[in-house]
Structure 1
Amino acid sequence: DLDEKRMALAEKFGAERCFTPDQAGEITKLTNGYGADATIITAATDSDKPLNQAMELTRKRGTVVVVGAVGLHLQRSPWYQKEIDLKISCSYGPGRYDTSYEEDGLDYPLPYARWTENRNMEAYLQLLAEGKVNFEALVEAEFNFEDAPAAYEKIKSERPLATLLKYSSGSDREHRKIEIRLPARKKESAIRIALIGAGGFAASTHLPNLEKMRDLFHLQAVCSKRGTTAKQHATRFEANYCTTDYKAILADDEVDAVLIATRHNMHARLVLEALQAGKAVFVEKPLALNEDELIQIENFYRENPEAPLLMTGFNRRFSPYAEKIKELADKRSTHGGQKTPLIVHYRMNAGFIPGDHWVHGAEGGGRIIGEGCHLLDLFNYWTGSTPVKIEAQSIAPRGQYRSDDNISTTITYADGSLCHLLYTSLGNRDLPKEYAEVYIDGAVAILDDYKNLKLTGTNLRGISGISQDKGHAAELQAFAHGIKTGTWPISLEDQLSVTRTSFAVDGMVR
């Protein structure tokens, strides 16, 4: 080490010998001229010197392990001549940054990976419990948390080995709710809504839309698992308060409705808890990830028919383009009490998402349940009917591509309509994401990515938009209207039907 004071401390803790970089040649003498079997680098510098010096100190065919952040420009010749193994150590150990390990809890078998992130921590905690690791001698300075800026100044000027920040231990230690003191801009008739789950989509789409609808909504609260995120958005969009505890929102009598935009695996549970608390609920799709969750919601309404409004975020049906197609579909001729069937072809150029992304796992439920449900809802909406037969096929998985997001499904409806969905991750982003052809009793509607709608065989006019409109703003307006009038924008039966259809398709292609 460069610091003699730290070397003295190392010797106190049991190091047999300590050297400065200028004395490193002594290591060769101590090893009878061979060099160390292994050298571990824990330095922090942009310089390449620690790495190349480690090579010099290590014996032929030895090992150099880089733990710290150092320059990695190698002098190839000496490394080649000594055949040294260079290893870069990931923090904590095997399992770090592996989603399957860290988030899904899939452990590495001990016979194949003796030391993992968890087992390393277990061993470390055992050493602490036995008193074999003692940090007291390492702490050179202590500060109250309120004096943290002074602590950082000391670190920059004096470089103490360890600096301790002391937190108060009183009952005010944890604040899970923070009031945002902003000018009151609430309209008396506005629905007091709270957001649970302030992720990227909610922040970029729902919150800006709510801000534009102050005559309809007042943002009462923002809840996120990260307090900093909750406070940032609550301040930006002028909520009354932010919190990391969703139960505080459900217990708040001044919250009329909640907008749930968490990861998918939390939707059904939060929907039920919110409904039981008497809140109207807007939940981003999907409504649920499995039949058991869906049955619980279904049973709740069977037992509580006057319960508040529930709306799943099937936004596309509220797009002006989809509404125009619905207007045309409703003009179909009737024969024997039945309307002429539709034929729909819908192509979703969904884009590739890596297999370890959360959307494919237990949190997401897969892309058909999590995104394909939008299109299944459109089929219900346009036909005005219910599925009676579902057929689905998928590709055989090859390389990075999965079977469950490369599918073709055809759904037969009670009115005789046929709706086909091609959902694929094999495509290219240069092709627009969504495209549909709807054949309607002598007329045809061609929808191009919610930017253009061409109609033929009808006196209805198509739509050519300047920007894309998938109905995100209109669905919130419909939610507000539903709360105030008691009219559901999407029937409970449709929400259950679409969700069950997504389960069926997903089950066929996995």
Structure 2
Amino acid sequence: MKQIIQDLKNGETILEEIPVPTPKTGSVLIKTKKSLVSLGTERMLVEFGKANFISKARQQPDKVKMVMDKVKTDGLKPTMDAVFNKLNQPLPLGYCNVGEVAAIGKGVTEFNVGDRVASNGNHAEYVNIPKNLVAKIPDNVTDEEAAFTVIGSIGLQGIRLLDPTFGETIVVVGLGLIGLVTAELLLANGCNVIGFDFDPEKVRIANEKGIVAINPGEGTNQVKFVESYTNGTGADGVIITASNKSNEIIAQSAQMCRKRGRVILVGVIGLNISRSDFYEKEISFQVSCSYGPGRYDEEYEQKGNDYPIGYVRWTEKRNFEAILNAISKGTLKVKPLITERISLRDFQKIYGDMGNSKSIASILEYDNTEEPVSTVGIINKSFEGKKGVIGIIGAGNFTSSTILPNLKKLNAEVKYIASSGGLSSTIMAKRHSIANSTSNYKEILDDGDVDLVFITTKHNMHAPMVLEALKANKGVFVEKPLALTEEELESIISEYNNQNVNVSVGFNRRFAPLAKRMKKALGSDDTPMNIVATMNAGFIPADVWVHDMEVGGGRIIGEACHYIDLCTYFTGSKVIAVCMNALGINPEENTDNTSILLRYENGSNAVINYFANGSKAYSKERVEIYSQERTLIMDNWRKMKSYGFKGEKNSSSKQDKGHFNQFQELIEQQQKGGHAIIPFDEIVNTTKASFAAIESLKLNKWIEVK
């Protein structure tokens, strides 16, 4: 299928050929018929993509600070690699989609195949959308009209925040697509509506709809006009739908309001607010968030958990339905807003010169008659008879930034890369010369050429996919963690014992050059040691999926396991007991500020400090080892100092966390055979120790690891 994307690195807008998405649980797969180009929003993305690096940096000063902090801790090259990797990830364009339900994911009961629906899907021939972002289209509403659903909901949400009453005078600043729809909805609410825009055509359309529309470019003073129109009272409220960097808009909006008026920002403007403009009249100001309640809430959007209507009357989906109802009843007339109708294959007629476009609403038309496919060939390459042929499931940031660059250095044979949406896997396949991009990971498991599967999905998918790969008799590399529950782990152990393949987990730290050097210096005897390992992990907001115990498993199971494995590697022993204490008076099981105590079979002790409340300017990782009146200190995988070791010198190097070495050993083992690169019993022990840490916090005691 084809999809429009924006390349952030070179600024090109591209029609990309990608696999059809796989319907996810709680989602519907939609075959697109029409989509609406939101010129304001999409123009900003296109212009951002075309801007040079300096301009991009000026637009995102907060990101620049993060980059500088990373340079201080990780060095220039790793930081620049991360920045360019981010810019290499294109943006899908569009969010006003209309089509027909082609398939339904698990847990979806309110839609049927063949239903006509509107959604916030991208400009793509097929889109996979969570059910709470999809609404059925009334029979008397055309596809073209329904394409305005999401745009209309943005305006409607601004109105709901303003909460106008019948007879109030409301000003709409900016009569673009959202502004015109907002103004018409305000008329339907019984409001007197004044609109301002510098485009004569938009002013003409607004006047025809009964809006008092003015072009300030013709000499009208906006504030004075509103004062005159309201007999000196001022507007009851202002909704700003304009897109402009000037601070003048917010100042004028306050000045044209009556005492205790309201200002709602829907668009994007300069926000250097003068206190006096708002103070003297006690004017309230609020920013509207997209389509309504539920936006950016993973529980609502991705998991499909609706808000009770008695408590949240207008969610984003109910706003969609309200707009469709308004169009159906003729309250909202959107057809006059359509400027042009363009075939998808002619998309450059819209995107080629967006900066000078005078279009109000451009409709993309789809003629997707080709049979949908879940795998797209990128390059022709034979894998017959080769060993160590890889299929990668998951095309997220870690795959892009770490796995693929290292596999490319190793000239690894990669036949597939899979992502559920198909876009990210296709982009990565092209960039790294991977033979196939697929949205159906089962094709990897069914392919006899593939004998090694990399799994880099969200944590809750690790164990099920490991089991599937083992049953398909494939070797497995899975990014940590191996599993989130004891039950999952036991299932993997059982299946592993029935197969003759290896399982490896992404515990890369033990393969780092400094870790190997430290291990060699410590020697191979069984003398107990003390280890203090600190991970200055950094803050992650509570609503990010890694904190979700069912999806991410929390940061102890999901990330701190790295250092449990590293301590096991240094001690040459296994964990027999764990005790964990967390920051706070009543810490819960889901914590990321904690100290973990590990007791080993050979008498060694380790303390892992996993902290999320430290400065990002400080080193992210540090290890101290004390043994036989000797001390080793590793700082952020760049420096090592030794004390009391004969012949061992201090060293420093570029940051290397061991990924390259791990993948090199893994591929060689797959090709030539031999022992697993990490003993499976150690992987199991580390996983159980991470579970024990959480259990210790719950029960406030030491937990034995069996």
TM over 0.5: yes
Compared with structure 1, are the counterparts of its residues 54 and 351 closer, same or farther at alpha carbon in structure 2 (3 Å cutoff)? closer
Structure-2 change in CA distance of 1:204 and 1:27 (3 Å): closer
Q: Distance in 2 between matches of 1:403 and 1:257?
A: 33
Question: For structure 1, which segment, 419-428 or 230-239, has the greater mean C-alpha deviation from structure 2 after superposition?
Answer: 419-428
Instruction: Give yes or no for the alignment of 1:117 onto 2:117.
Output: no
Q: For residue 84 of structure 1, what is the aligned residue in structure 2? A: 283
Contact 1:316/1:471, CA 8 A, preserved across alignment: yes
- Following superposition, the deviation at residue 125 of structure 1 comes to 4.3
Matched with 1:198 is 395
Matched, 1:229 2:424: yes
The whole-number CA distance in structure 2 between the counterparts of 1:453 and 1:23 is: 68
Tell which deviates more after alignment, 128-137 or 143-152. 128-137
> How far apart are residue 275 of structure 1 and its match?
2.3
Equivalent pair of 2:521/2:648 in contact (CA under 8 Å)? no
SS of 1:82's equivalent in the other structure is: coil
The aligned residue for residue 436 of structure 2 is 241
CA-to-aligned-CA distance 1:376-414 (integer Å, 9 cap, x gap): 112333333332221111221699x99822222222223
CA distance in 1, matches of 2:317, 2:377: 38
User: After alignment, is 219-228 or 311-320 more displaced?
Assistant: 219-228
Provide the secondary structure at the position in 1 that maps to 2:581.
strand
Alpha-carbon contact 2:394-2:457 (below 8 Å) kept: yes
Q: 1:381 aligns with which of 569, 577, 585?
A: 569
User: Which residue of 2 is the match for residue 414 of structure 1?
Assistant: 601
Equivalent pairs: percent with the same residue?
38
Q: Give unpaired runs (5+ residues) of structure 1.
A: 333-338
Cα pair 1:321 1:463 within 8 Å, conserved: no
Residues 495/402 of structure 1: CA separation in 2 closer, same or farther (3 Å cut): closer
Matched residue pairs, number? 496
Cα shift at 1:370: 1.9
| Correspondences of 1:48-59 after superposition (within 5 Å) | 51-55=250-254, 57-59=256-258
Quote the Cα distance in structure 1 between the aligned partners of 2:404 and 2:510.
20
Q: Which residue of 2 aligns with 1:311?
A: 504
User: Matched residue of 2:243: which SS?
Assistant: coil
Report deviation, 1:79: 4.5
SS at structure 2 position matched to 1:171 = coil
SS of the counterpart of 1:317?
helix
**TM-score, structure 1 normalization:** 0.83
Aligned: 1:371 with 2:568: no
Q: Cα 1:111–1:28, aligned 2, differ >3 Å: closer, same or farther?
A: farther
> In the TM superposition, what is the alpha-carbon distance from 1:117 to its structure 2 partner?
3.1
Distance, in Å, in 1 between the alignment partners of 2:357 and 2:530 is: 75
* Alignment match of 1:218 (pick from 413, 417, 421): 413
Tell me how far apart the structure 2 counterparts of residues 187 and 459 of structure 1 sit (CA, whole Å).
51
| Alpha-carbon distance change, 488 to 76 in structure 1, aligned in 2, over 3 angstroms | closer
Q: 1:195 Cα shift? A: 2.2
CA contact (8 A) 2:589 2:694 kept: no
Aligned pair partner of 2:239 in 9, 18, 40: 40
The answer for the alignment partner of 1:272 in structure 2 is: 467
Please give the root-mean-square deviation of Cα atoms over the aligned residues, in Å: 3.7
Aligned residue for 1:255, secondary structure, equals coil
| Distance change in 2, residues 1:46/1:75 (3 Å) | same
Hey, what does 1:487 align to over in structure 2? 675
Q: Which residue of 2 aligns with 1:159?
A: 358
Q: 1:386 to 1:120 in 2, by over 3 A?
A: same
- Does structure 2 conserve the Cα–Cα contact (< 8 Å) formed by 1:197 and 1:260? yes
Q: Structure 1 356/462 Cα, relative in aligned 2: closer, same or farther at 3 Å?
A: farther
| Deviations, residues 184-210 of structure 1 (Å, cap 9, x unaligned) | 597974521122223232222221211
CA distance in 2, matches of 1:347, 1:75: 46
- With over 3 angstroms needed to count, the CA separation of the structure-2 counterparts of 1:72 and 1:296, relative to structure 1, is same
Q: Is the 8 A contact 2:239 2:265 kept in 1?
A: yes
Structure 2's unaligned 5+ residue stretches are 1-195, 699-706
Distance 1:168 1:434, change over 3 A: same
Deviation for aligned residue 1:502: 0.7
Return the match for 2:661 from 467, 474, 479: 474
The alpha-carbon distance between structure 1 residues 482 and 318, as it changes in their structure 2 partners (threshold 3 A), is: same
Q: Which residue number in structure 1 is paired with residue 685 of structure 2?
A: 497
Structure 1 counterpart of 2:379, from 177, 181, 190: 181
Per the alignment, do residues 61 and 296 of structure 1 end up closer, same or farther by CA in structure 2, a change over 3 Å counting?
same
Compared with structure 1, are the counterparts of its residues 42 and 440 closer, same or farther at alpha carbon in structure 2 (3 Å cutoff)?
closer
How many angstroms apart in 2 are the aligned matches of 1:76 and 1:192?
64
Q: Distance in 2 between matches of 1:149 and 1:186?
A: 38
2:450 aligns with one of 224, 244, 255: 255
State the distance in 2 between where 1:455 and 1:72 align.
54
Aligned partner of 1:145: which letter? Answer: L
SS of 2:347 mapped into structure 1 = helix
Q: Secondary structure at the match of 1:207?
A: helix
2:696 & 2:425 partners in 1: Cα distance? 39
- The aligned counterpart of 1:341 is 528
d(CA) in 2 for partners of 1:152, 1:446: 55
Alignment partner for residue 283 of structure 1, among 439, 464, 478? Answer: 478
Aligned 8 A contact 2:327 2:334 in 1? no
Alignment-derived partner of residue 14 in structure 2: none
Residue 283 of structure 1 and its aligned partner are, at CA, apart by 0.8
Indicate conservation of the 8 Å contact 1:315/1:471, yes or no: yes
The structure 2 residue matched to 1:405, chosen from 581, 592, 595, is 592
Q: Deviations over 1:36-80 (max 9, x none)?
A: 322323233445565455445533222222222344455665544
Once the two structures are superposed, what CA deviation does each residue of 1:244-268 show, in whole Å capped at 9, x if it has no partner?
3323322333322121222322222
Aligned partner of 1:390 in structure 2 is 578
| Change in CA separation of 1:132 and 1:245 when aligned onto 2, cut-off 3 Å | farther
What code does the residue aligned with 1:318 have? F
Structure 1: how far apart are the matches of 2:643 and 2:228? Answer: 90
Q: 8 Å contact 1:219–1:237 — kept in the other structure?
A: no
Matched, 1:296 2:491: yes
Distance 1:179 1:195 in 2: 15
Residue number in structure 1 paired with 2:29: none
Deviation at 1:498, TM superposition (A): 0.6
Provide the C-alpha distance between the structure 1 equivalents of 2:579 and 2:379, rounded to a whole number of angstroms.
55
Cα distance between partner residues in 1 of 2:651 and 2:344: 58
Change (3 A) 1:76 1:329: closer
Higher relative contact order (CA 8 A, sep 6+): 2
Alpha-carbon distance, 1:218 to partner = 0.9
Q: Tell me if structure 1 keeps the 8 A contact 2:518–2:632.
A: yes
Task: Tell me whether 15-24 or 431-440 shows the greater mean CA deviation.
Answer: 15-24
Shift of 1:501: 0.7
The yes-or-no answer on 1:352 pairing with 2:536 is: no
1:107 Cα deviation from its structure 2 partner:
6.0
Query: In the alignment, is the contact (CA less than 8 A) between 2:246 and 2:269 conserved in 1?
Result: yes
CA deviations on 1:70-125 (whole Å, 9 max, x unpaired) are: 44455665544433323322221344345565556676665665434344234334
Per-residue deviation, 1:436: 2.8
Residues 38 and 494 of structure 1: CA distance in aligned 2, closer, same or farther (over 3 Å): same
For 2:531, give the aligned amino acid: V
Q: 1:32 to 1:351 in 2, by over 3 A?
A: closer
Instruction: Give the TM-score taking structure 2 as reference length.
Output: 0.62
Q: Residues of 2 paired with 1:159 and 1:57: CA distance?
A: 28
C-alpha distance in 1 between matches for 2:615 and 2:490: 38
Is 1:127–1:133's contact at 8 Å kept on the other side of the alignment?
yes
CA distance in 2, matches of 1:278, 1:299: 14
CA distance in 2, matches of 1:255, 1:225: 19
Q: In the alignment, is the contact (CA less than 8 A) between 1:48 and 1:73 conserved in 2?
A: yes
Give the AA of the match of 2:510. R
